[in-house]
Amino acid sequence: MPPMPANAPTRFCLIRHGETDWNGEKRLQGRIDIDLNATGAAQALAVRPGLAGHGFAAAYSSDLRRAWHTAQVAGAGLGLAVAAEPALRERHFGVLQGTTADEAAVQYPEAHHHHLARTPDYDYESGESLIVFAARVLAGLEVLAARHAGREVLVFTHGGVLDVVYRAATGLPLHAPRDFLLPNAAFNWLEHRAGGWRLISWADCRHLERALDEVPD
């Protein structure tokens, strides 16, 4: 296949990992390496048919287990080796990692306040600020876009990464409250070309609904 022009748009399918027990507990995971639960593994399997028929040039995943496990299950049969990409890791939430909102409010009230306020330059004492995190994510994805210009790229990652890309595509500031969904194992399609991101479709969960419909009573 002839090489694409360097300015050709790259189309991304970004998928958040399947559910974990900590998702169910609303416990902040960040860089803590939690694996999928049974529901998450079933979600990863439900993703697989929806990927068939796409001509993905490459597949990448965060190297944290919840994303990597999702990638291995969902991507089976595509004929692509999934490459680990550290730039796709979740944000490091410092002292708040492993806490629920109620626990954080009591144990780390200042950090909890900044978390709720989405203070862009706050780093949770030992983690990543929103500014640093967003720069890391977007720089990593821009490298992939340039590497696969004009192609389709499959990415398995985390809610925080998707939050950053959605905002880059829509112009919603980092500090603004989130007004969009980040479902586990949903399809999110975006296009990158020189000059920025364009949102194609977001939070498509139809494949998960079909999988549930196929479960016998």
Distance between CA atoms of residues 206 and 66, nearest Å? 21
pLDDT digits (tens, 9 = 90+) for 121-158: 999 999 999 999 999 999 999 999 999 999 999 999 99
Q: Considering the chain, what percentage of its residues have pLDDT values greater than 70?
A: 94
How many of the other CB atoms lie within 10 Å of CB of 125? 11
Look at the domain 10-213 and name its fold.
Answer: Rossmann fold (3.40.50)
List CB contacts of 22: < 8 A, sequence separation 6 or more: 28, 29, 32, 34
Of 43, 78, 76, the residue nearest 153 (C-alpha): 78
List 83's β-bridge partners, or say none. 60
Of 66, 88, 197, 194, the residue nearest 136 (C-alpha): 88
Distance between CA atoms of residues 139 and 142, nearest Å? 5
Place of tokens 């990638």: 71
- 7: alpha, beta or left, given left = phi > 0 and alpha = psi -120 to 50? alpha
Expressed in angstroms, the distance from the first to the final Cα of the chain is 48
Q: What is the pLDDT of residue 196?
A: 95
pLDDT of 214 > 60? The answer is no
Q: What share of the chain is helix, strand, coil (3-state, %, to 5)?
A: 40, 20, 40
CA distances from 72 to 52, 130, 134, 163 (A): 14, 29, 26, 23
Place of tokens 């950053």: 164
The two tokens of residue 160 are 């925080």
Whether 89 and 63 have beta carbons less than 8 Å apart is answered as yes
Mean pLDDT computed over every residue of the chain: 94
pLDDT digits (tens, 9 = 90+) for 6-38: 678 999 999 999 999 999 999 999 999 999 999
pLDDT of 47 > 90? The answer is yes
90 catalytic? Reply is yes
- 58: alpha, beta or left, given left = phi > 0 and alpha = psi -120 to 50? beta
Q: What is the pLDDT of residue 195?
A: 81
Catalytic option among 69, 90, 148, 192: 90
Each domain of the chain, given as residue ranges in start order, spans: 10-213
Place of tokens 């998702």: 23
Q: What is the pLDDT of residue 215?
A: 46
Single pTM value for the model: 0.94
